[in-house]
Structure 1
């Protein structure tokens, strides 16, 4: 088992381990006392026992993609799953057992090429499944297929006592409940997720997109809201704005991803969209042959590595005037790579919720991403995010962990009932507070370090 102790390691080697795969370059000054890189489940158990022996807390890194960099804590042992990659596929049952360090792209590359299946993981290719699934997982076509954590049948967990257990609706069901939405509050170390998979067809995978100038913001966004209830069940819709250098203005894009079995089915699903689009696009494409690999490449460009990020989000009230509420957010991004987006959450938002920690929802999901590369521009981008979110907070019913930077006071990540239950489960399974959970900015959730 490879261990890097801060007190004895080469400074450069330690710092490389501390920042390995960390996505957000606006990184906290937190320094684990040791970094462990297991390659087997037995080594994960050894790492937990090592923490117990040295009276240290445990932090986890799956993909390193969390914006607040959850994996970095003082007085901790960081268990980095980057070298522990397991994917075991059962084609007959359409299931897979996957370790938390496997990324969405790694999993889907394998599933598509060898098995003709996919998993509705994260849109960004390098998102590790561990953090993504624990916080709920707003994956591909979430509005119809549900959250990715709903496709977790079971999980294998190393408890804070160093015991390996199975968690499902039948075994250790309280931990199974917490694993679907608790995020870094989860009181254990997940070594494998048991996932339900979906069929995938390259021939039926199609996209359409419509780019509008900012002057047509209201018409284009109103159209997107109007057609959402009519969309096919295998079609995802996203509205996104950013400053486009090519057009010297903020542009709004309405993007559709359709995952059907045949080209004819995809064309039938996307035709009504194309026929009802408002005039005035700067560019557009209709029912274009596409694939998940190509979309991952585009997401990687839209969410570049080696940059500084500040994010926030809101589930916007169902009865809000969404076009008006989000207008400033959508039309004022600073020049550069920053962007804001809206995703439809219906019909999922109107269904009965499964019994799980994930509990905040509405018909409208909004997120804002400030993206820049120079620390001297921190204040400019921080102030943009804060100003936008102040305009929206009175129309918000809650916040999603996955796009949160944990900067917002009084954020609601779960309903009050689920928060209370989650605290009780943490106290039961981790009474000594061995697992690192939240930075001090989230003490209002009563889930403290």
Structure 2
């Protein structure tokens, strides 16, 4: 277990700074400095790190992947437990389940598919840490049909704020199990491992894409919304409004990725979209050979790390006229650094969720991003993100905690009853506020 301590002059402590900023996806990094950084590689290391925090009366923060746009893993007067080197994977092929450590990344799916013919259904970006991904609900591949990844969590192991290792499931410490499926940054402990029910891995990936000029926005968006609820259950669909690569031309882009057993199944799945697509695409492709590795590469290119980011999101009302609501936003993107993403969740969004902390969803998930380089543009892009959030406010039923900047504005990421229960669980398992939360305990108490 490596421990790095903060020195008064951090600029001369390159090892500390490297560890403090390790894997932070957003180059817009908070000026917060943990007192100690523990690089854990075993479960025992995590327990010792929590005990260290108790000895020095420090708070506890955790980093699994570092992909939170807000840099949740950085707090002053804290011990940061970095899980990058804590990598465990135990697969039971007969039960189609795996124990996976929080420090593993979403690209573990490549290993599961290659070695076992199974799939966790993790994050779209290969660098997303499994710990944060599952705690926030898990917006996974094909969530519109496969559901939220946290629904497949069967059990977990947790180091509590008092330093005890406990097992959690529906029958053992069931309140922590309930909270772990969706509590996000408000979970009152450190999850070390998850037991997850796996999915059969598709044998092939095939994709189609249609890129329209913004003048075709209305027709193209209306089309994709109409076909989504009953479309093939193994096909993921997204729509993105952004500038075409290498140009300032705003385009409306629609992508399909189908995951099947053989090529003809994929062709049949994608054909109804191809046959009914609006005319006038600038670019298009149909049933192109694809793969999870290629999709990861596409995500890294489209949503790169180590640049400055602002992000916001909304679950919009099921009956909202999404095409009309987003039209003003999409037609007036300031420049090539601004992106609007629509991710459909129907038909899964119409099913009753299991009893768990994650409790808000709708047919329409909308995320807005700015991705840029210069610190001097912070005010410009933050203002655009905030103005867009305001435009969506009257149609929003809530937001996804994984892309919510709790310090920028008020977010509702849980149902009222679930938020109240989560607060009670937090007080039970972390009465002294040892775990770092986006807001201090006093602020949360007022919200209850």
Q: Answer whether TM exceeds 0.5 for this pair.
A: yes
Query: Is 1:254 matched with 2:270?
Result: no
Q: Give the Cα–Cα distance (whole angstroms) in 2 for the partners of residues 445 and 224 of structure 1.
A: 40
Residues 49-64 of structure 1 mapped to structure 2, 5 A cutoff: 49-64=51-66
Contact 1:338 1:371 in 2 (8 A): yes
- In structure 2, relative to structure 1, the CA distance for the partners of 1:332 and 1:406 (3 Å cut) is farther
Equivalence for 1:146: 147
Residues 250-399 of structure 1 mapped to structure 2, 5 A cutoff: 250-399=250-399
- In structure 2, relative to structure 1, the CA distance for the partners of 1:371 and 1:419 (3 Å cut) is same
* Matched position secondary structure for 1:343: strand
Q: Give the Cα–Cα distance (whole angstroms) in 2 for the partners of residues 328 and 408 of structure 1.
A: 23
Q: Give the Cα–Cα distance (whole angstroms) in 2 for the partners of residues 27 and 439 of structure 1.
A: 18
Structure 2: runs of 5+ lacking an equivalent:
none
* Matched position secondary structure for 1:212: strand
Alpha-carbon distance, 1:331 to partner: 2.5
* Matched position secondary structure for 1:341: strand
Equivalence for 1:133: 134
1:191-223 CA deviation, whole Å, 9 max, x = no partner? 1011111112333x2111110000000000000
Equivalent residue in structure 2 for 1:97, among 79, 99, 102: 99
- Following TM superposition, where does structure 1 have runs of at least 4 consecutive aligned residues deviating by more than 6 angstroms? none
Structure 1: runs of 5+ lacking an equivalent:
none
Equivalence for 1:40: 42
Query: Is 1:83 matched with 2:82?
Result: no
* Matched position secondary structure for 2:87: coil
Q: Give the Cα–Cα distance (whole angstroms) in 1 for the partners of residues 244 and 150 of structure 2.
A: 35
1:309-344 CA deviation, whole Å, 9 max, x = no partner? 000000111121110111122233333343110011
Q: Give the Cα–Cα distance (whole angstroms) in 1 for the partners of residues 280 and 443 of structure 2.
A: 47
Alpha-carbon distance, 1:173 to partner: 0.6
- In structure 2, relative to structure 1, the CA distance for the partners of 1:377 and 1:443 (3 Å cut) is farther
Equivalence for 1:67: 69
Q: Give the Cα–Cα distance (whole angstroms) in 1 for the partners of residues 353 and 151 of structure 2.
A: 10
Q: Give the Cα–Cα distance (whole angstroms) in 2 for the partners of residues 244 and 363 of structure 1.
A: 27
Alpha-carbon distance, 1:227 to partner: 0.5
Contact 1:185 1:437 in 2 (8 A): yes
Contact 1:328 1:388 in 2 (8 A): no
Contact 2:248 2:336 in 1 (8 A): no
Alpha-carbon distance, 1:245 to partner: 4.7
1:19-70 CA deviation, whole Å, 9 max, x = no partner? 0111111111111000000111111111111111111100000000001110
* Matched position secondary structure for 1:229: coil
Contact 2:91 2:99 in 1 (8 A): yes
Equivalence for 2:411: 411
Contact 2:230 2:347 in 1 (8 A): no
1:129-173 CA deviation, whole Å, 9 max, x = no partner? 111110101010001100011111111111112111111111111
* Matched position secondary structure for 1:383: helix
Between 1:292-301 and 1:316-325, the stretch displaced more is 316-325
TM-score (structure 2 length as normaliser)? 0.96
Q: Give the Cα–Cα distance (whole angstroms) in 2 for the partners of residues 49 and 321 of structure 1.
A: 52
Query: Is 1:220 matched with 2:216?
Result: no
Q: CA RMSD in A?
A: 1.6
- In structure 2, relative to structure 1, the CA distance for the partners of 1:422 and 1:288 (3 Å cut) is same
Q: Give the Cα–Cα distance (whole angstroms) in 2 for the partners of residues 177 and 86 of structure 1.
A: 23
* Matched position secondary structure for 1:268: helix
* Matched position secondary structure for 1:419: helix
Q: Give the Cα–Cα distance (whole angstroms) in 1 for the partners of residues 334 and 291 of structure 2.
A: 31
Q: Give the Cα–Cα distance (whole angstroms) in 2 for the partners of residues 330 and 166 of structure 1.
A: 47
- In structure 2, relative to structure 1, the CA distance for the partners of 1:321 and 1:444 (3 Å cut) is farther
